[in-house]
């Protein structure tokens, strides 16, 4: 524990582990000191190494990380273990907190080589202990980010849904993150909305994320291409149906391709259905939509709002519930992971000061 060793504003690094990329930011106060991203490695151990390297990259700007927050997709328990991660290869049971702790500690002490090109400077301040490390669910982190610095500032009861490779969710109750009895709350992507629907990576059929995630959009594009439609989309994937990804669709839609717009509208309808389900259950003040797919903006949010109004129980009898894009964009998860880690660090420092005093 580094608690109590400094009164300077801490520098915290947040890493968002997505299905396709790892995004990292360094945060001091509300200032983003730097950001970096790499493709998601194909194994859990690869993810650990990539996180350590991202921290190294960011620290080459000349600071030392006081705390590290990592947002991971799936069931993250309160001890920082990734119990189940359907959208991440070879990562079920990964001891994220413990493994990162030992790697960061070794790296700090100089016993583990820093990445080629990185500065070699054994840590004088911290000894061989790494930074404080906090692991949480990726969408919970994104929600923490939007709550602290983004679209949910000041919100008491709100929801965030992140559209990445899968779909995650974060719940705000009384102005605080709600984590549930075991830390697993907010797994909205595996709400079954059609028991006869497509197979999901989790092993069930018809989960929300089989209809409204980045992977779902890629699947829509593949089906269109197989039917001979969507030439402008397919072109962006180099003509290879297997290579089609959601971002090829959002890029084509951004340039006005009508087939791409139609696919986003179809996805938006399912998004609206899922959000209507969630709003009926929670009755939030507002819903924030984040994740890579939210970059499609109104092309997906417009149709989602129409479907939401059609599908929420008693729409004309209740106040409207705004559905807005995440203010922090694709960095919401990483910034939020940093926010979560900083909160934990400051709590530990306060506890240590009280103990000293």
Binding positions for a copy of itself, rule: CB under 8 A: 74-75, 83-84, 86, 92-93, 156-157, 169, 171, 173-174, 178-188, 190-196, 202, 204, 207, 273, 276-278, 280-285, 311, 313-314, 317-319
Of residues 181 and 227, the one with the C-beta less far from a copy of itself: 181
How many residues does the structure list for the chain? 357
CB of 75 to a copy of itself, least distance (A): 5
Sheet containing 11-17: give its strands across: 31-39, 21-28, 11-17, 67-72, 132-137
Cβ 161 vs Cβ 181: under 8 Å: no
CB of 339 to a copy of itself, least distance (A): 21
Q: What is the phi/psi pair of residue 206, to 5°?
A: 70, 25
73/292 Cα distance (integer angstroms): 14
Of residues 68 and 91, the one with the C-beta less far from a copy of itself: 91
CB of 9 to a copy of itself, least distance (A): 31
Of residues 36 and 340, the one with the C-beta less far from a copy of itself: 340
C-alpha distance from residue 304 to each of 264, 289, 337 (Å): 10, 10, 27
DSSP annotation string for 96-161: HHHHHHHHHHHHHHTSSPPPTTS-----SSSTT---EEEEEEHHHHHHHHHHHHSTTTT-SSEEEE
Q: Which of 197, 263, 266 is nearest to 224 (CA)?
A: 263
CB of 262 to a copy of itself, least distance (A): 18
Residue 115: how many other CB atoms lie within 10 Å: 14
CB of 298 to a copy of itself, least distance (A): 23
CB of 167 to a copy of itself, least distance (A): 11
Of residues 208 and 340, the one with the C-beta less far from a copy of itself: 208
CB of 85 to a copy of itself, least distance (A): 9
Q: Which of 318, 301, 333 is nearest to 27 (CA)?
A: 333
CB of 142 to a copy of itself, least distance (A): 16
Of residues 158 and 290, the one with the C-beta less far from a copy of itself: 158
For residue 29, the SS3 value is: coil
Q: Which helix (H) or strand (E) holds 324?
A: strand 323-325
Of residues 63 and 282, the one with the C-beta less far from a copy of itself: 282
Of residues 61 and 315, the one with the C-beta less far from a copy of itself: 315
Tokens of 96: 């994220």
* Residue tagged 């990734």 (tokens): 82
Of residues 73 and 230, the one with the C-beta less far from a copy of itself: 73
* Residue tagged 């090829």 (tokens): 248
Cβ 230 vs Cβ 175: under 8 Å: no
């Amino acid at each position: 524990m580094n608690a109590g060793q400094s009164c300077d504003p801490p520098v915290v690094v947040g890493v968002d582990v997505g299905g396709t990329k790892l995004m990292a930011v360094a945060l001091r106060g509300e200032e983003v000191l730097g950001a970096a991203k790499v493709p998601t490695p194909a194994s859990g151990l690869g993810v650990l190494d990539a996180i350590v390297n991202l921290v190294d990259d960011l620290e080459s700007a000349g600071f030392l990380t006081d705390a590290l927050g990592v947002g991971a997709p799936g069931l993250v328990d309160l001890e920082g273990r990734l119990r189940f991660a359907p959208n991440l290869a070879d990562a079920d049971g990964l001891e994220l907190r413990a493994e990162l702790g030992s790697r960061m500690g070794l790296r700090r002490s100089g016993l583990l080589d820093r990445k080629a090109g990185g500065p070699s400077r054994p840590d004088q301040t911290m000894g061989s202990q790494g930074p404080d490390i906090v692991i949480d669910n990726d969408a919970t982190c994104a929600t923490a980010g939007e709550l602290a610095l983004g679209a949910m500032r000041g919100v008491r009861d709100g929801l965030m849904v992140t559209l990445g490779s899968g779909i995650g969710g974060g719940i705000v109750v009384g102005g605080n993150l709600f984590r549930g009895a075991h830390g697993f709350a907010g797994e909205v992507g595996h709400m079954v909305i059609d028991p006869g629907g497509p197979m999901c990576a989790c092993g069930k059929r018809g989960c929300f994320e089989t209809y409204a995630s980045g992977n779902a959009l890629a699947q829509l594009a593949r089906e269109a291409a197989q039917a001979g439609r969507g030439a402008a989309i397919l072109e962006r994937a180099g003509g290879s149906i297997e290579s089609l990804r959601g971002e090829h669709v959002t890029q084509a839609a951004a340039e006005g391709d009508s087939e791409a717009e139609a696919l986003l509208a179809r996805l938006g309808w399912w998004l609206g259905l899922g959000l209507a389900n969630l709003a009926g259950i929670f009755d939030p003040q507002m819903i924030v939509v984040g994740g890579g797919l939210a970059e499609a903006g109104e092309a997906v949010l417009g149709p989602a709002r129409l479907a939401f109004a059609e599908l929420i129980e008693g729409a004309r009898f209740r106040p409207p519930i705004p559905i807005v894009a995440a203010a922090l964009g694709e960095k919401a998860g990483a910034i939020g992971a940093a926010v979560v880690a900083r909160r934990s660090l400051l709590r530990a420092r306060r506890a240590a000061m009280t103990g000293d005093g």
